[in-house]
Amino acid sequence: MKTIAILLLCIASISNIAISRTVMVGASHIDKTIRSGIINANAHDTLLVETGIYHEHNLVIDKPIVVIGINHPIIEGEHKYENVSIKADSVTFSGFSIRNSGISSIVDYAGIKIHNRHHVIIVNNILEDCFFGIYSQYSVNCIIKNNKLIAHQEQEQQSGNGIHCWKSDSLQIVGNTITGHRDGIYFEFVTNSIIWRNVSFGNIRYGLHFMFSNSDTYAANVFEKNGAGVAVMFSKKVKMYHNYFIENWGDASYGILLKEISDSYIDGNYFERNTSGIFLEGVSRVEMYNNDFTENGWGLKIQASCMEIVLKNNNFRGNTFDVGTNGSLVLNTFENNYWDKYEGYDLNKDKIGDIPYRPVSMFSMVVEKNPPAMMLFRSLITTLMDRSEKVIPSLTPEQLKDNHPLMKPLRL
């Protein structure tokens, strides 16, 4: 009986595969709208949608089907509707141009929204002028890949996030380009997910924003010219590898903001021309290795509320201030970093400086407490202040030092 049951299951699965169809949708076919094609489709069918403009007024995909656009047909939202709502598992949606979703301060309209589903694939779409671009809520094992998201709003209130993920797990956000949104990518209560090879630039607030999201990884992404690069807040076990943070400038801007996070890793990242490379507040047990800080205002700003930070094998080159802090109690470890401002010597030729380097200058402490003092930067008095502080330390934290600074930069 068991053998017969197995044979019947195999026959049923083969029958399901055999009856799956490819259905054409477009002006010259029986199904002239995508909605009609979905209504007439069976589970696991493939819809091929011809190029054109489709006014679907909130297209709902409620079957496990594959929907593919030919030459990027346009689904028009008319600034009134959600363009596409995915309400079935195992849906693939690819190759469309999604335009002009509704805008509301009450309803989170999106170009494409995944409603409490799993194994959904959204790939190779272009989303333009959508309130939220791609929105995932209560989703599991979904892939958002190689999409281009463009918005043109100038105020945060008028724009949602490019890729917005909420209470989801095991997502893959890969190879997308996002610009002009409030946040490029937003994670809230998202776990065990990866953000890889995305380019997030010119967004109003953050290139990437984490809130209460644990055990995630973002790697090999570019965050350029956003209001601020990346904010990771109230999270733990976050891995940040081989990302580029470039020209994130502003009064309160940074490459990365770390606030109330713990047990995380920052390895192999590149920080260039940011107001602050990394800003840390209320952070504990974070390890930072093999990062390059080049031509930033502050390479690193570490508040007194941080503890058990390990900073090792990093390069600091051409920064206005290498390290800034707001207190004298230091419970962190600085070791084997390269500092281009180091003026020590290496008598035994082991490529490690023979005297410690204190990266916090007296003038940086003055600026921390009195920002207008920055007008005196590069003046004779600031040079005299820093020189005298090195001889007789008084304001700078005595224990914030690299005991074994490198004489030459690391090749990262």
- Span 294-334, pLDDT tens digits: 999 999 999 889 999 999 999 999 999 999 888 766 789 99
Has residue 18 got a pLDDT over 50? no
Q: Are strands 74-76 and 97-99 parallel, antiparallel or unpaired?
A: parallel
Confidence at residue 367, expressed as pLDDT on a 0 to 100 scale: 63
For residue 67, the tally of other CB atoms under 10 A from its CB is 26
- Residue 129 in tokens: 């002028």
pTM: 0.89
- Is the pLDDT at 246 greater than 70? The verdict is yes
The mean pLDDT of 207-227, rounded to a whole number, is 97
Instruction: Name, of 145-159, 196-210, 316-330, 355-369, the range with top average pLDDT.
Output: 196-210
- In this predicted structure, the answer to whether residue 1 has a pLDDT above a threshold of 60 is no
Region 161-167 average pLDDT: 98
**Would you state the pLDDT for residue 5?**
44
CATH of 21-225, one of 3.40.30.10, 2.160.20.10, 3.40.228.10, 1.20.120.420: 2.160.20.10
HSE toward the beta carbon, residue 232, CA cutoff 13 A: 27
Give the pLDDT band (50/70/90) at residue 9: very low
Angle at 79 between CA 73 and CA 85, to 5 degrees: 60
What is the bridge-based pairing of β-strands 217-219 and 177-179?
A: unpaired
pLDDT > 70: what percent of the chain?
86
Q: Per residue in 116-131, pLDDT tens?
A: 999 999 999 999 999 9
pLDDT, residue 14, reads: 41
Q: Going by DSSP bridges, is the β-strand pair 84-86/59-61 parallel, antiparallel, or unpaired?
A: parallel
410 pLDDT higher than 80 = yes
* pLDDT of 381 higher than 70: no
Is the pLDDT at 3 greater than 80? The verdict is no
What's the pLDDT at 325? 86
Give tens-digit pLDDT for 131-149. 999 999 999 999 999 999 9
Report whether pLDDT(190) > 50: yes
Q: Where are the chain's structural domains?
A: 21-225, 227-360+397-412
> Which tokens hold the place of 151?
């918005």
Q: What is the mean pLDDT of residues 401-411?
A: 93
pLDDT at 358: 86
- The predicted pLDDT at position 406 comes to 96
DSSP H or E stretch at residue 383: helix 380-391
- For position 372, what pLDDT does the model report? 64
The confidence score (pLDDT) of residue 258 equals: 97
Within 10 Å of residue 372's Cβ, how many Cβ atoms?
A: 7
Percent of the chain at pLDDT > 90 equals: 75
